[in-house]
């Protein structure tokens, strides 16, 4: 499969606004390996067909239960298996979470994401989690949670509470997955995504780039996501933050151009999804972030902290947005009507 064929098939799908679910690895690899200018041109053209090109959706992420996780994810400082010095905490009180959500809304966030360091939530925690969802939705914010693997009962409770999105990243390719995580399988990840989707909750799923994987692994990860029965509505692409005490602490930082290529490929293959420039922005130059936005990233995490990692503060993002002529997606009014709509 050469670049011209891959580009023609992609452009043909875009012309009738369809979303392809039949991407092959050869097609995706041809796009990823294309001359950089050609790849960015196709990604940006695709982006403009579906989104306002200078509007960025801002989410905020709060760790509602930190540390003590039994999983062995090699990148994560919240694993109880890694000597990172992070202490475990209990689940936050509902009102405390609401106070943080109010601050996020005032700062321009339209989606509020809550993460808990669990393998899966326990039944005793579900009432509090559902209360958080209901109260935050009442503020006019979209809600997202990442709680690990979910049982059928937990999924139904979150759906009944009105949860908009569930985040469960596949992290990397199926081939490389066992090099990073051994306490749950790649299939476990996909099973959770299926369970969430079948319940009618929107899926947020992406991965982490720069964990020592090959370019082919990055392509395979995106092929997995793009060929799901329904593509994730939100696709976070994280740059590894190499945290002291984790198995990946000495991993070499990924080349920025390779990272931008991954963003561009995600945009082309999943044209109607929000592609979120997620963890690692503190290590990115303004120029790298600008290229990512041009390549189709149209969502960021705002606020100084992502779970336990650093993130650019609001002032830094405001300066960058001003330089680039970007504007944030506006908060939905409480009636539920959008002030900005994705293009059809």
Residues with a known catalytic role = 69, 73, 76, 113, 144, 204, 276
Q: Scanning the structure block, which residue is given the tokens 């509602």?
A: 64
Contact 137, 162 (CB under 8 A): yes
The token pair at 258 is 């390779």
d(CA 278, CA 275): 9
Cβ proximity of 64 and 97 under 8 Å: yes
Q: Identify how many contiguous H helices and E strands the chain contains and give both numbers.
A: 12, 12
3-state secondary structure of 127: helix
Tell me the backbone φ, ψ of residue 302, rounded to 5 degrees: -100, 165
CA 207 – CA 260 distance, rounded (Å): 14
The rounded distance, in Å, linking the Cα atoms of 6 and 147 is 37
144 - beta bridge partners?
Answer: 113, 165
Q: In the numeric block, which tokens belong to residue 127?
A: 């009432």
**Which of these, 299, 316, 309, 294, lies nearest to 75 by C-alpha position?**
309
């Amino acid at each position: 499969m050469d670049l011209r064929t891959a580009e023609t098939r992609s452009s043909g799908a875009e012309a009738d606004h369809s979303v392809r679910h039949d991407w092959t690895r050869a097609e995706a690899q041809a796009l990823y390996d294309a001359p950089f200018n050609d790849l960015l041109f196709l990604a940006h053209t695709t982006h403009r067909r579906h989104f306002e090109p200078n509007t960025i959706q801002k989410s905020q992420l709060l760790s509602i239960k930190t540390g003590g996780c039994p999983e062995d994810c090699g990148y994560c400082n919240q694993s109880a298996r890694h000597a990172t010095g992070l202490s475990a905490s209990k689940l936050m009180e509902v009102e405390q979470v609401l106070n943080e959500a109010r601050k996020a809304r005032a700062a321009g966030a339209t989606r509020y994401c809550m993460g808990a360091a669990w393998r899966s939530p326990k039944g005793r925690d579900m009432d509090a989690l559902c209360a958080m969802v209901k109260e935050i939705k009442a503020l006019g914010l979209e809600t997202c949670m990442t709680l690990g693997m979910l049982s059928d009962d937990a999924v139904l409770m979150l759906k009944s509470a009105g949860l908009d999105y569930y985040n469960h990243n596949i992290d990397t390719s199926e081939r490389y997955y066992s090099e990073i995580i051994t306490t749950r399988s790649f299939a476990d990840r996909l099973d959770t995504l299926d369970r969430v989707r079948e319940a009618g909750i929107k899926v947020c799923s992406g991965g982490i780039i720069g964990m020592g994987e090959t370019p082919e692994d990055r392509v395979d990860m995106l092929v997995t996501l793009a060929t799901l029965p329904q593509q994730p509505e939100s696709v976070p692409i994280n740059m590894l933050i190499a945290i002291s005490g984790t198995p990946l602490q000495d991993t070499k930082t990924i080349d920025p151009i390779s990272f931008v290529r991954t963003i561009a490929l995600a945009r082309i293959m999943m044209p109607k999804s929000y592609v979120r420039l997620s963890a690692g922005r503190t290590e990115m130059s303004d120029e790298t972030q600008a290229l990512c936005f041009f390549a189709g990233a149209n969502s960021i995490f705002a606020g100084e902290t992502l779970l336990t990692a650093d993130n650019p503060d609001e002032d830094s993002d405001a300066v960058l947005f001003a330089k680039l002529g970007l504007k944030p997606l506006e908060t939905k009014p409480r009636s539920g009507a959008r002030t900005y709509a994705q293009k059809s």
